[in-house]
Chains A and B, each alone.
Chain A
Amino acid sequence: MRRLLGLILLLQTLHLGIAHAAKRPLLQLVVTAPYLEMHSGPGRGYPVIYVIGRDEIVTVLFSRTDWYKVRAPHGEEGWARRADLSTTLLADGEPAPIPPYPDFPSHHWELGAGYGVYNRQNLVTAYVDYSMTESLDIEGVLQQALGTLDNRVIATIGLRHTFIPEWKWFSPTAGLGGGYQHIVDKVPPAPLENNNEMAYVSLGARGFITRRFMWRADWRHYDVFNHLNVYEDLEEWKVGFAVFF
């Protein structure tokens, strides 16, 4: 009985959730161009299946990449490109909140992954980056180095400065930070220390491939802190791709 009650409550919650989702207000825009083309899919090659005339209302359902799923006044649905929708207006005559291009200098979060070489080992790297200003970022990196003698997991956090952020295709960067490495032994003899703290300096570059997609290249020099009274340093380089939000 209690289970049945729980099920009913769950269904009601779900129903309320769905009803709430369905009631989410949708953006309505007025077409100002002679017509707005609706494609059958979110891509340049998909054919135009419908057009919405000037002064008619278009309802925006959601977006995927640079395409928007839209609904015409009589219920027909299709995909409109960002550049076309950016010419529409709100009901009060203000421009639609859809810029013709994504506003990339104002992004904050960046997510990337790539390949590199760390201490002559293959490196798989992933990172998340938060930009505090246009040129200064805080960067957290998690990477796995896979070699023949040992495997390593490396986690670092640091600051990165982009020298000329307004250069789109190539912009040099420099950074510094600290981190930690954990060594998993594969072939004897085992390393004397399995865990080390490290500090690094880095030089690199980045450039935009498309408006939301960029490449990054980075070289790092690590100083490894140990209790063995020996100076130990490592080098790493890597290339990768990143997107921002």
Chain B
Amino acid sequence: MPSPHAPRTRRASGEYLVFLVGEVRCGVDIAQVLEINRNMDLTRVFTAPAHVRGVINLRGQIVTIIDLAQRLGVEVEEAPVSPRNVVVDSRGEAIGLLVSDIDDIISAGAGALLPPPPHLPQGVAACTLGVLPAADNLVVILDVDRIAD
């Protein structure tokens, strides 16, 4: 499903959108982010894989919503207070990532991405491009295509 916007260049823009998945701070290249919304009017898709929460109608397009916590194998203790859909462009298709909360936008220079530390949980590590140091902790930068596949 082609995304409603023109395909963006995949060069790392140096800016990352940071959000919370459970307690884990994750980020994606902002060039891949199409929009952030609060659309929780999900239609469940039965027999779909567990991490697919459902689909929504986004201005006429049917967009799949992936529960990022489920997908990455992150434990979520209590129901998130302000869940959001981060709609990203993956291989020309618009896909929604359900996150627990939106945090911030950070900048990082080229080459600032560090290799992921060994203690990352398996599910997260499999979809990680690298980590960025920010304030007092690390932000795990995610590979959007890997998540969506």
**A is bound by B:** no
Binding site for B on A (CB under 8 A): none
Interface residues of B (CB under 8 A from A): none
